[in-house]
Structure 1
Amino acid sequence: MSFASLGLNADILRAIAEEGYSTPTPIQTQAIPAVLKGGDILAGAQTGTGKTAGFTLPLLQKLSANPKVVTGRRPVRALILTPTRELAAQVFESVRTYGKYLPLRSTVVFGGVSANPQMMKLRGGVDILVATPGRLLDLVQQNAVVLKEVEVLVLDEADRMLDMGFIHDIKRVLALLPKQRQNLLFSATFSNEIKDLADKLLNKPTLIEVARRNTASERIEQTVHPVDRNRKRELLTHLIKQGDWQQVLIFTRTKHGANKLTEQLSTDGISAAAIHGNKSQGARTKALDDFKKGAIRALVATDIAARGIDIDQLPHVVNYELPNVPEDYVHRIGRTGRAESEGVAVSLVCVDEDKFLRDIEKLIKRDIPKEVIEGFEPDPSIKPEPIVLGRSMTIGRNNGGGNGGSNNGGSRRPTLGAKPKPKTAGNGGKSSGGNNPSAKKPQGATRRSKPKKPVVKIG
């Protein structure tokens, strides 16, 4: 099947060809005709499947095929909401790339940078707006943007938006939109909260799934290397040097951990940079650009900051620390094995993380192969210790062994010890080194306060 057979016009096909693409991915084959048909869509596709083009291409086709004649400032006709700045920038780049031969205007707005240039762009009028919820609502309050004529709403990576606590912002945005519109909801995983959101938001949606729910790509070679907690850094350096890895994305649970590991890798002679919520937008952009062009070998990231990282043929992803939320494992390793490329995902797992590993394997419905690296055999006498995510947040304390599980052993999100404070798992909230309540919150990818199980009421 070709892109031409999906109903896209010559100008869009020309832009696609110039990017070197000729055959649509499975999600694109299903989503493009469905979006063009006009109904609501609920699409389940993990990262790396081409889902961004799956909604940007038909969106461009719909808007260009039905131009809106307006007097004065042209209105926003399509709104794409994303959870993070990096993902917003990536989606906007896709819109701009594939729509470069169309008479449509687009722009992106997110926090962490000055709002004035964004307001200037909006003042000139745009057809397609890509935005993070926080900055969008700020601009609405400043009367910089009106959403009364939006024809299509896209919620990209909706599962992550719920994880970050954006449900209240989403409800506020929905109240600003016309009731008659097309809704497209894309999610890498399907949780009960996503199903609830879909039930409230979508009208008889077409369901599109290109992989089994909550599963990792079959093109990704997954391996667990058991190792003692105090030898992880040594093993990581060994793997990078012995394997001559020139480009590796490494995940930590906290921002402090990302900074510390970056310094340690640099000491070991491996060029590295960190990317997380406490970094300025300029620093995050530079780190990502340096990584893409090969100026640094290792990019150390937290979960939220890594959303939107789109690197063709990224060969290696390393879980230096396993995530405490198993769905995050799927998102992490989805950075490699994208499109038709092969990828390798390595997890360095100490005894403290055994419960995390079991939860991940239960989610993806498979056992991940274990391989002990010679010279790094774990010491069987070492006992599990609680995992500290921040200054006052500990997983595994007083829960019968302290290996990261909940008290009843069955909760998907672990019981958190100590005094309750905002979540600090290095994925958008305050982490160690960032728990100061007076610290300035990053905009755009800001975590809103979130109950353990969000109640989704949309209307």
Structure 2
Amino acid sequence: MPFPTLPAPLSRALTERGYAEPTPVQAAVLEAAGGGRDLLVSAQTGSGKTVAYGLAMADLLVGAEDAMPAPAAPLALVIAPTRELALQVQRELAWLYGPAQGRVTACVGGMDPRREARLLAGGSQIVVGTPGRLRDHIERRALDLSTLRAVVLDEADEMLDLGFREDIEFILSATPKERSTYLFSATLPKGIEALAERYQRDALRLAVKSETRGHADIAYRAVRVVPREIEHVVLNLLREADAPTAIVFCNTRNAVRHLQANLTERGFSAVGLSGEMGQGERNAALQALRDGRVRVCVATDVAARGIDLPSLSLVIHADLPHDAEVLQHRSGRTGRAGRKGTSVLLVPNARRRRAEQMLAIAKVVPEWCGPPSADTIRALDAERMLSDPLIAEPPSEDDAVLAQMLLAHKSPEEMAGLLARVYRTRLPAPEDVTDPGEGRSRPERAPYDPMNAEKIAEMGPAVWFRLNLGRRDNADPRRLLPLLTRRGGLDRQEIGAIRIFDRETKFEVRGHAAARFAESFARNGSPEIQVEALPPDFAPAPRKGPPGGKGNGSPRADKHRRNVGKGGYKPQQRG
């Protein structure tokens, strides 16, 4: 289905970007946005929602002359939870409204607020920012919201999870009452519904479902690896794909530094992204990727949040994701808005069962295979050689003069051999790697199926999970219960014992609800908060507390566990 009638400048921008037809969320929003009606939209990241709300408010921003009014106080405001997402939105709206002479300004933490204030004073039709920085500009009278016609809350559930409710309410209270409000959220918990009820008028609710079986435009591969050869396999995968842009995920900053240095030493143009980098360094790295000066990005999960690189076609998980939600978040950096992509997991034999569980929860069926061999890559190099610009482009006059000089001293066969050597020296040499599954006669195990009732019955009355929040994160049952029930789609009675440790929490979910909980938790909420199903035979022995204390083996702890399903949660008092 083609795009409906739009202002001419926006239609031209879409055509130049290769948009032939709208994504499901864009089609739903455009159909419902007539007359500036408020919208409450449930849609996943990577579905094209930025362009969706950019088009939805077009009639409010672009005049009859097919151009926006001269830049002054903003006409539209977009609020996003993170710096990376806000900057991504700013870039998307800049190209979309560029032909309409639109000016889009970003206001985010980590950047110079005085420079942002000067840009706002110079006038902008659209402002995009994070809640804290926008509130700061409003309080300093640098941001005038009196002329707003449209407000967008992007990833509203993330903003509430990150504690921005007060800032959001402050900003919305400063906007005109006669405005259109578009609220986008992956999930619609009670906090989002309360926000919509208070700040929207007769909002139309749209639930745009993404496919539960992974993203249709992403091909998944699970590659068997020997742990000590992981970096060599990453190199071979990059050489095999020859992707214009690729991202390699690691779980720690140290792993990012080590792998990025290794790839650079081997001849790849690579940058690293991790939480220890400043915003300026991140922006420079991302710009190098967009410009094509760098083709490989090595990143942690937190640093890569909100990244949108149009040419990104390959994602490699050098370290296994913590859970299915992180897997989908990482893989979703590619295969966006109709583009094709590949997601490759590197799986040592010792972690295969965990990888199978994660893929099953994510509703992904990968192609299992060994790593690409050095011989395979050399064969690909031979096929690609004739299409390489070094050989495909016709020689210039200067090249012809040098060629005649060389032919006077070398035979054509020698010249061809020299050319092949020059071609090879421009490419990182492939590595000899091992397929740990090759030549083994053991039968393939059936993949883990979280919805198989017989398997759940075998696991017993409860399934244990691990959560990456502990005492150092101020975790207590009163805080954890709403998180687990909302994201996991459970009733309180379906959660059993909870054991809180320094860096993690282990808890039970009743057997018949475990699969539903795992799937729901993986789909919803922030990827920084992760759960992992523990092995079916996991059953921690009661710990004995100090005499008269409240250890897990004490009578008071047992009483707490018995009261889990009765709403009797009381956080422990610490002296």
Contact preservation (8 Å) 2:44, 2:210: no
Partner of 2:424: none
State the Cα distance separating 1:59 from its structure 2 match.
1.8
TM-score by length of 1: 0.72
User: If each structure's helix is expressed as a fraction of its own residues, which one has the higher value?
Assistant: 2
* Cα-to-partner distance string for 1:426-449 (whole Å, 9 max, x where unaligned): 99xxxxxxxxxxxxxxxxxxxxxx
Q: Is the 8 A contact 2:273 2:297 kept in 1?
A: yes
For structure 2, the 5+ residue unaligned runs are: 372-432, 441-465, 474-497, 520-525, 531-575
Matched, 1:358 2:417: no
Find the structure with the greater CA-based Rg: 2
The one-letter code of the counterpart of 1:288 is: L
CA distance in 1, matches of 2:56, 2:112: 31
Structure 2 contact 326–527 (Cα < 8 Å) conserved: no
The one-letter code sitting in structure 1 at the alignment partner of 2:50 is: T
Instruction: Name the CA shift for 1:134/1:96 in 2 (closer, same or farther; >3 Å).
Output: same
Q: Give the letter for the 1:361 counterpart.
A: A
Q: Which amino acid counterpart does residue 111 of structure 1 have in structure 2? A: G
Aligned ranges 1:229-244 → 2 under 5 Å: 229-244=227-242
Encode CA deviations 1:89-138: one digit per residue, 9 max, x unaligned. Answer: 23222323232343654321112221112101212333321112222122
1:314-361 deviations in Å (ceiling 9; x for gaps): 221112234435333322212211233221111224546855763563
Aligned to 2:508: 408
Q: Higher relative CO (CA 8 A, sep ≥ 6), structure 1 or 2? A: 1
Matched-pair contact (CA < 8 Å) for 1:253–1:425? no
Q: Where does residue 388 of structure 2 map in the other structure?
A: none
Alpha-carbon distance in 1 for matches of 2:253, 2:30: 38
Q: Deviations over 1:188-247 (max 9, x none)?
A: x33647765665555554343444366531121112234455543333223223444453
- Structure 1 residue 28 displacement after superposition: 2.0
Distance 1:260 1:135, change over 3 A: farther
Q: With the length of structure 2 as denominator, give the TM-score of the two structures.
A: 0.59
Instruction: Give runs of ≥4 in structure 1 deviating > 6 Å.
Output: 386-390
Name the residue aligned to 2:28: 30
1:405-452 CA deviation, whole Å, 9 max, x = no partner?
944265769xxxxxxxxx99699xxxxxxxxxxxxxxxxxxxxxxxxx
Between stretches 139-148 and 18-27, larger displacement belongs to 18-27
Q: What is the deviation of 1:159?
A: 4.3
Note the 1:281-320 alignment, pairs <5 A. 281-320=279-318
Alignment RMSD, CA only?
Answer: 4.0
Map of 1:190 onto structure 2: 187
**Identical positions, percent:** 31
Tell me: CA distance 1:94–1:238, structure 2 relative to 1, closer, same or farther (3 Å): closer
Give, in whole Å, the separation in 2 of the partners of 1:257 and 1:183: 43
Aligned partner of 1:100 in structure 2 is 98
Task: Please report how far the alpha carbon of residue 54 of structure 1 lies from its aligned counterpart in structure 2 after TM superposition.
Answer: 1.0
Aligned to 1:53: 51
Which residue of structure 2 lines up, in the alignment, with residue 62 of structure 1?
60
1:2: which partner in 2? 2
Letter in structure 2 aligned against 1:12: L
Compared CA separation, residues 123 and 296, structure 1 to 2 (3 A): closer
- Cα distance in structure 2, aligned partners of 1:355 and 1:405: 19
CA contact (8 A) 1:42 1:198 kept: no
Match of 1:327 among 295, 301, 325: 325
Which stretch shifts more, 161-170 or 91-100?
Answer: 161-170
Q: What is the distance in 2 between the residues matched to 1:125 and 1:236?
A: 47
Is the partner of 1:303 in helix, strand or coil? Answer: coil
Query: Which letter maps to 1:377?
Result: P
* Cα separation, 2, equivalents of 1:33 and 1:330: 29
Cα distance in structure 2, aligned partners of 1:327 and 1:229: 24
Question: 2:373 matched to 1:375?
Answer: no
Gaps of 5+ in 1: 381-385, 414-422, 428-459
CA contact (8 A) 2:83 2:109 kept: yes
